């Protein structure tokens, strides 16, 4: 069991579930994230935010889980957004080209500001 991993889900002011991750998201811990996303989808969530602010490490399994979540949400006209102020973690998305398919924001505040502008 990975002691360097924590996950907690809270709700944003816009009533969007935010899954806050901490520590290492890898082959051992990514299934917990997947399960959480599935249960939020089953509860009717159309948008999910994954907060990677306190993530130290993200592997390909974790990326696969995030992509899977994004695909499922897009099938129901939803979206998966990421909060990722950490340059090193963000670099993983840039190298893999995933920064083009995910909405990645530096903070929850920035995300809400961007969401307000998207109606234009």
Tell me the mean pLDDT per 10 residues along the chain, length 120. Answer: 84 92 97 98 97 96 98 97 97 96 95 70
CB 96 within 8 A of CB 75: no
Terminal alpha carbon distance of the chain: 46
The verdict on residue 119 lying in a domain is no
Position 118 in a domain: no
Burial class (CB in 10 A: 0-12, 13-18, 19+), 49: buried
pLDDT number for residue 120: 39
pLDDT at 2: 52
Cα 44 to its chain centre, rounded Å, is 17
Question: Residue 35: which residues within 8 A CB-CB, separation 6 or more?
Answer: none
Q: Is residue 114 part of a domain?
A: no
What's the confidence (pLDDT) of residue 3? 66
Indicate whether 25 belongs to any domain. Answer: yes
- 92 inside domain: yes
Let me know how many helices (H) and strands (E) the chain has, helices first.
Answer: 4, 5
The pTM of this model reads 0.93
Domain count, the chain: 1
Tell me the CATH number at 29: 3.30.750.24
Domain interval for residue 14: 5-109
């Amino acid at each position: 069991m990975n002691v360097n991993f924590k996950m907690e889900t809270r709700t944003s002011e816009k009533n969007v579930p935010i899954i806050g991750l901490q520590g290492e998201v890898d082959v051992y811990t990514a299934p917990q994230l997947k399960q959480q996303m599935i249960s939020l989808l089953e509860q009717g969530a159309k948008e999910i935010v994954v907060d990677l602010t306190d993530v130290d490490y993200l592997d390909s399994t974790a990326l696969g889980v995030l992509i899977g979540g994004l695909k499922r949400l897009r099938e129901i006209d939803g979206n998966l957004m990421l909060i990722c102020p950490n340059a090193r973690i963000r670099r993983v998305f840039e190298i893999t080209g995933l920064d083009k398919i995910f909405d990645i924001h530096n903070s929850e505040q920035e995300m809400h500001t961007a969401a307000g502008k998207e109606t234009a």
